[in-house]
């Protein structure tokens, strides 16, 4: 969800106002995803590198996160949406960590859609923490090293309980995925748009979904093979 700060600057406002405006786009995308039958939606809210931003901006982001957890989660629950946070929670305040747990507990039995929010998250961290867990199993002699393969590692990566990642959307005009879901995005369709996040509304999201529906997904096969399998 990129472009909040630039959007605010274009409006002649301080950067933090862009993050507040971005909350409306979150609502629009969650609503659209639910309406379109999307089963899992993951939003990159705060990367492990974002701690390097100005202290005031980080503080506002944490306050916004707390607001969403206390207010918006009730709306998610009402719409049968399960909430979960992925990332290293240890750096957040105790109060915020408590709110995260409460939000996850409140919505844990909902099954219409899973909304995952990545906060203090990084794709490299994700792979490293999965590797660490597997290494500990080997050290404890609970796992043979020859048993380690992609399928095993996949079980310890975040979002392992969700369907394969189909599409990764990057707003804001940059053509990179910035350490987001590196493992999960191996065969995902990538969609880049110049639209800044606060302007990424329902229409923009539906346009991205339409682009996805028109793509041929081959997964290493030829186009002819894919066509033959569909006939």
Active-site amino acid positions: 2, 50
CB 127 within 8 A of CB 183: yes
User: ∠ CA 14-17-20 to the nearest 5 degrees?
Assistant: 165
Position of tokens 């929670």?
89
Count the helices and strands in the chain (H runs, E runs).
9, 5
Position of tokens 């709110």?
99
CB 41 within 8 A of CB 117: no
Closest listed residue to residue 87, CA positions, set 190, 159, 166: 159
Looking at the DSSP assignment, which residues form a beta bridge with residue 85? 117
CA-to-CA distance for 194 and 144, rounded, in angstroms?
A: 48
Closest listed residue to residue 148, CA positions, set 133, 166, 163, 169: 133
| 23 Cβ contact list (under 8 Å, min separation 6) | 64, 67, 68, 72
């Amino acid at each position: 969800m990129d472009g909040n700060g630039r959007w605010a600057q274009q409006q002649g406002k301080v950067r933090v106002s862009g993050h507040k405006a971005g909350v409306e786009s979150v609502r629009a995308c969650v609503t659209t995803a639910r309406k379109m039958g999307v089963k899992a939606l993951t939003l990159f809210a705060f990367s492990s590198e974002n701690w390097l931003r100005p202290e005031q901006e980080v503080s506002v982001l944490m306050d916004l996160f707390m607001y969403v957890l206390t207010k918006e989660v009730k709306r998610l629950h009402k719409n049968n949406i399960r909430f979960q946070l992925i990332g290293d929670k240890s750096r957040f305040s105790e109060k915020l960590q408590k709110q995260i747990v409460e939000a996850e507990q409140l919505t844990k039995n909902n099954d219409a859609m899973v909304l995952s929010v990545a906060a203090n998250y990084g794709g490299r961290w994700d792979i490293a923490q999965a590797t660490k867990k597997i290494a500990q199993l080997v050290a404890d002699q609970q796992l043979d090293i020859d048993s380690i393969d992609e399928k095993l590692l996949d079980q310890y990566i975040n979002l392992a309980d969700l369907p394969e990642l189909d599409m990764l959307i990057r707003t804001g005009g940059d053509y990179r995925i910035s350490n987001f879901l590196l493992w999960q995005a191996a065969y995902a369709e990538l969609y880049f748009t110049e639209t800044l996040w606060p302007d990424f509304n329902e229409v923009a999201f539906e346009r991205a979904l339409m682009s996805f529906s028109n793509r041929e997904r081959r997964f290493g096969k030829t186009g002819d093979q894919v066509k033959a399998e569909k006939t």
